[in-house]
Structures are given as C-alpha cells and as structure tokens.
A and B are shown apart, each in its own frame.
Chain A
Amino acid sequence: MHMADALLSPTVGGAMMVVTIGVAAYSIKKIQKNPDPDESKVPLMGVMGAFVFAAQMINFSIPGTGSSGHLGGGLLLSILLGPCAGFLTMASVLLIQALFFGDGGLLAYGANVFNMGFVACFIAYPLIYKPFVRKGITPKRILVGSILAAVIGLQLGSFSVVLETLISGKTQLPFGTFVLFMQPIHLAIGLVEGFVTAAVVGYVWKARPELMDYPGKVAGTSSVSMKRVLLVLVVCVVMMGTALSLLASSSPDGLEWSIGHVTGGGSLMSGGAIYDFFARLQQKIALFPDYQFKSGDSPGGTSFSGVAGGLLTLILAGGIAVAIRGFSRKKKGSQLK
C-alpha cells in the first residue's frame, strides 16, 4: 500500500505531511504526559520498530490456498504499545523503508504514515478493537476484534490511497476502476493481518499477560482519549478539505472527467454552486489566480504556480504544525490547573 512520489502532487503530499506532523506532535506530547517513566519507551519503541521490520518478512502460509500473507504491523503495535507509541513506531519503520528500500516515496511519506499508521493506531485500534476487548480479553474477542479492526483499517487506508492519487490528478485512473482494484485486494490483506495479529496477541496474552497492559492504559482515560481522537480526526478532515478545495478548480479535467465517467456524464456537484464557491474562494486566497490546468495542446503542464503552491503548502504546513503544538500545550496547561 506504499504510495510512490510519482503519483502525488506537491499539494497533496504537503497536506498529508502536515497531518502527519500534527499527529506526531500530538503523540509525543501524549507520551510525555504519561505518569510512568517515559524513557523506557524509547528503547522499546525502537526495538519494536525493528521487530515490525523482521515480522514483515515472515511468510505466513494461508491454509487452503498455496499462497502466503504478511503482517503490516500497525494494529499489533497499537495493541501492545498503545496508539501514540504505536503510531510513532510505525512512522520510524516507514521512514527507514522509504529511505533505504524505496518503499514509498519521500514526498509521499506523510501520506503513507497517515494511510498505514494513523488509520491503524488512531481509528482501527481505539474505535474498533478496543470496544471489543473492553469487557475482558478472551481469545474469541481478540480474534473478532483484530479481524474487524484490520479489515476496516486497511479498507480505509487503501481508500485514502485512492483519494490521494485521484486528487493529485497525475494519473488517468478513474475512480471506479481504482476502487474496484484496491479494495478487494486489501480486503484479503486485511483478513490475513487480522488473523495473524489475533494469533500473536493471543500468544502474548497467554504467555505474558502483563505485557498487554501498556503504560497509560488506565481505566477511565478512555473517554478522554476518544475526545482526542475525534479532535485529531476533525483536524484531518479540515486539512484534507482545504487541499481538496485548493485543487477542485485547478484540475477539472482529471477529477471531474473520472467522476463524470463513473456517474455517466453529470458533474458530481449539482448545479455547480459549490464548485463556483470554491473556485471563487481559491481565487481570493491564491497568490496565483491564473492557476489553471492547460489542456493537452501545449507541452507544458501545470504552471509555475504548481511548484509555488507546493512550497507554500509546506510553509503553511510548518505554521499549522506549530499552531497545533501550541494548542495542545495550552490544553495541557489548562488541564494541570
């Protein structure tokens, strides 16, 4: 599910980088707030990252078929380390994969961490797996919880890939085809991940049950963490919405064409009122109001504003990340009183 740079546009890459930086800053703050000594987490997270690497090399042979499946690791990490530590560990694993193995581009890093880290640790784990085992840990609950969390998590993740590729507008792949291609494959992958995760968690729970209680997993904080999860989700939606609107008027061909293809002719936004609104908004805030997609007559593609847009986004990214940190610091300050 690793995205390559070639399929992204600078704006989408930048936007996803913003989101990832924001979530990472939040995770670090959350870990540091923890009452247990946090310095022991550093070697644990480090070595668990190496474990995920090694575990991804294991060929789990699937009974009945002749093929084998592999572990992704995000869900397992968040079950054993908690969502924040799990997310940061996934982020380091993905960085090393991107740098040393070329698995996933460097610009696409933010998107990859989001698709494979955030979705698993902050959506699949707390919203699906945890409710299942809240009443108590049994092998059956572990199994059902893991499978559902893994499948849904991977579906969301691969759907994000589809959206990110589509919004970037660098391919001709229509939405419908892409979805029909990605989702079933990741359904199968999700099933394997769910089963394998359940098997490993079950083993750990039987052999060393004390490891299942990661520090910070205290009863009563669950409602607080739900709020935090929702906050982060809202921030992400806003980010992605911004990116979407910035691009809505710039790539009418790609997005609308494929949507038109899927819906059989009509534009997705009926009446075009919303479309016009976004177009006017973008005109107002954009520094390069003549940012337009040139059709295939000229050899040039998007204009200079494409690059400037990307760089501007990155600067914006830094500013938003700082703002998020300031926000969470303020929240922490008010909670201490």
Chain B
Amino acid sequence: MNRVSNALLNLRQMDDLACKDTPIHRIHPLAKIVVTLAFLVTVVSFGKYDISGLLGLVFFPVILMALSELPGKVMLKRLLVLEPIVVGIGLFSPFFDPREMIFFGLTISAGWATFLSILIKGTLTISAGLLLIATTGIDRVAEGLRMLKIPKILVLQILLTYRYILVLIEELSRMTRAYFLRAPSDHGIRRDAWGSFAGQLLLRTYDRAQRIYISMSLRGFTGEYHCGKNRPMRGGDWVYLLGWCGFFALARWMPLAQLLSLGLKGVMNP
C-alpha cells in the first residue's frame, strides 16, 4: 500500500536527517522551536495582498537549509505533496477579487496577488516546520516541549506514540499483505471485513499496551516520568534565538525585497 510505505519512508528519513551533526543540529531545541514559531507568526501576519514583504523572509529557510545540509530534493518532494491543498484554496481567489493592483510595476488582479501570497506563505510555513523536525528529531523536540512546561506525562505519551507507529504500521503491512494475497481483486478492505480487520489490530494493540505497562511497572514506573536533565541554553543558542527574531521583526517592518531591488538598481545605474 502506497500510503503505508510512504509513511514509513518519511519517518525513517526524518529520523536519519535529524541524526546529522551540523551547527544547526547542535542548537538547543527550545531555541529552534521558539524561532520557528516566531517565523510562522511573522509569515502569517502579512495581509493577503502582501508579497514583497513576504519575500524578505525567504532568507530564513534558505540559510537554514544550507547550514543544516538538508538535501533540497527532500524539501521539494514534501512541498509538492503538501502545497496542493493550500494552492487549491488559494486558486479560488483570482475568481473572486478582480480588483486591480500595481505590483512591482505590473498590473494584476488582487485575486492573483492573494493567490501568490498564499502560495508563498504555504511554502515558507511548510519549509519551516520541516526544517524544525529535520534538524531536531523527536527526542530533542520532547526535551523542548518539557522545557515549555508541557506535562512530562503527556510528553512520554507522545514519545510512546512515535515509538510504536513504526511497529504498528509494520503489523498493518503484514495484515494487509495477508488480506490481499487471499483477495487479489479487492481494492480495499471489504465491507464485511471492516470490523474484524481493524478490530483485530485494535485488540492486539490493547494487549501490547498491557505488556508495555507491565514492562514499565517492572522497571519501577509509578506514574511519574523521570527523564534526564534538560540541557540549559547556552550563549550560541541565545544568539540564534535573538538574532533570528530580530531579523523577523526587521523583515516585518521594512520591505527588504524592495530595498534590495532599489539597491541593485542603484548599483547598476550609478
């Protein structure tokens, strides 16, 4: 099944990418989480006709990608999968707002401006999320969440979900293969097998949860999640945090893209 193998590939890929050792990977997860959120807030705070302002923010994902050695192909593939939904909604815009705007010297309809704005916002926000996980990994993200005062028990639950997704998906693959070997002409699980197919997996999941609970109690678990110490934020982490937030504020106030193009014009026509 395509979705299953895609999901497995995704998780393993992200896991492998997160294991790399680059300057970005070494930054404290809390700093990365805060910077990502600040970036997202800045991006979506732009109005629906604003494009040049948005462009100034492109520096963030681009620089990060370069520093973290994230292969461009990975990013592109993910964007191609996730953008269509955003694009779909954005595509309605040109039809509903035919008012005209001046944009970089061209006259286009406001609707198209909105569409472009949504497209750019989508690209920026999706890349930011991807970059966060590709440079941090689930364990560091969990550490960041704990420092954000999210209850430790909840963080443990998230870790358990992550840990067992692969196990359960592999179980599902086996069940699916067994099913389709005996029902090769079916395109999906048949109506009269819906309950038992998913139900079997569910019951096995329950039993597994029981065994895991026993395993945890045998090793002293009584409801409190004791994890290691959280790493403190160091100088470099603060520089990262404040530096990027400062840049976002700058990009929000000043139309950086326009300044750049003016500057370029000035250089070329002294």
Are chains A and B touching directly in their complex (CB below 8 angstroms)?
Answer: yes
- Interface flag for A231 (CB, 8 Å): no
Residues of B with C-beta under 8 A to A37: 223
The chain A residue with its CB closest to the CB of B115 is A172
> Once bound together, how far apart are the Cα atoms of A101 and B81, in whole Å?
10
Q: Are B151 and A28 in contact (CB under 8 A)?
A: yes
Identify A60's interface contact among B129, B130, B156, B188, CB under 8 A. Answer: B188
Q: Are B158 and A96 in contact (CB under 8 A)?
A: yes
> Once bound together, how far apart are the Cα atoms of A248 and B18, in whole Å?
43
Q: Are B1 and A59 in contact (CB under 8 A)?
A: yes
Residues of B with C-beta under 8 A to A159: none
Given A98-B129, A301-B53, A57-B44 contact (CB < 8 Å): no
Residues of B with C-beta under 8 A to A48: 205, 209
The chain A residue with its CB closest to the CB of B7 is A57
Interface size class of A (residues with CB under 8 A): 35 or more
Q: How many A-B residue pairs have CB under 8 A?
A: 308
- Interface flag for B31 (CB, 8 Å): no
Given A54-B201, A102-B126, A200-B195, A310-B53 contact (CB < 8 Å): no
Residues of B with C-beta under 8 A to A103: 82
Residues of A with C-beta under 8 A to B249: 307
The chain B residue with its CB closest to the CB of A49 is B161
> Once bound together, how far apart are the Cα atoms of A37 and B223, in whole Å?
9
Interface flags for A124-137 (1: CB within 8 Å of B; 0: not) read 00000000000000
Interface flags for B27-45 (1: CB within 8 Å of A; 0: not) read 0000000001100111111
Residues of B with C-beta under 8 A to A46: 156-161, 163-164, 209, 212
Interface flags for B118-142 (1: CB within 8 Å of A; 0: not) read 1001100110111011000010010
Q: Are A170 and B44 in contact (CB under 8 A)?
A: yes
- Interface flag for A173 (CB, 8 Å): yes
The chain B residue with its CB closest to the CB of A48 is B205
Identify A61's interface contact among B7, B93, B190, CB under 8 A. Answer: B190
Residues of A with C-beta under 8 A to B68: none
Q: Are A96 and B161 in contact (CB under 8 A)?
A: yes
Interface flags for A1-31 (1: CB within 8 Å of B; 0: not) read 0101111111001000000000010001000
Q: Are B125 and A4 in contact (CB under 8 A)?
A: yes
- Interface flag for A47 (CB, 8 Å): yes
**B34 to chain A: closest CB distance in Å?**
11
Q: Are A310 and B45 in contact (CB under 8 A)?
A: yes
Q: Are A170 and B48 in contact (CB under 8 A)?
A: yes
Q: Are B53 and A173 in contact (CB under 8 A)?
A: no
Identify B45's interface contact among A62, A199, A203, A306, CB under 8 A. Answer: A306
Identify A171's interface contact among B81, B89, B258, CB under 8 A. Answer: B89
Given A60-B194, A199-B194, A102-B82 contact (CB < 8 Å): yes
- Interface flag for B59 (CB, 8 Å): no
Q: Are B194 and A99 in contact (CB under 8 A)?
A: no
- Interface flag for B46 (CB, 8 Å): yes
Q: Are B47 and A57 in contact (CB under 8 A)?
A: no
- Interface flag for B96 (CB, 8 Å): yes
Q: Are A96 and B165 in contact (CB under 8 A)?
A: yes
> Once bound together, how far apart are the Cα atoms of A48 and B86, in whole Å?
30
Q: Which of B44, B46, B157, B217 has the most CB of A within 10 A?
A: B44
Query: 27 A-B Cβ contacts within 8 A?
Result: A4-B82, A5-B125, A7-B86, A9-B45, A42-B157, A44-B213, A46-B163, A47-B160, A49-B160, A50-B163, A51-B202, A54-B165, A59-B188, A61-B191, A92-B157, A100-B133, A102-B81, A105-B40, A106-B40, A106-B125, A106-B128, A172-B114, A199-B194, A200-B194, A296-B99, A301-B53, A307-B252
> Which residues does A use to contact B, with CB under 8 Å?
2, 4-10, 13, 24, 28, 37-40, 42-51, 53-55, 57-63, 66, 68, 71, 80, 88-89, 92-93, 95-96, 98-103, 105-107, 165, 168-174, 177, 195-196, 199-200, 202-204, 207-208, 211, 254, 261, 293-294, 296-297, 299-302, 304, 306-307, 309-311, 314
> Which residues does B use to contact A, with CB under 8 Å?
1, 3-4, 7, 10-11, 14, 36-37, 40-53, 78, 81-82, 85-86, 89-90, 92-93, 96-97, 99, 101-103, 110-111, 113-114, 117-118, 121-122, 125-126, 128-130, 132-133, 138, 141, 151, 153-154, 156-165, 167-169, 171-172, 176, 186-191, 194-199, 201-203, 205-206, 208-209, 212-213, 216-217, 221-223, 225, 249, 252-253, 255, 258
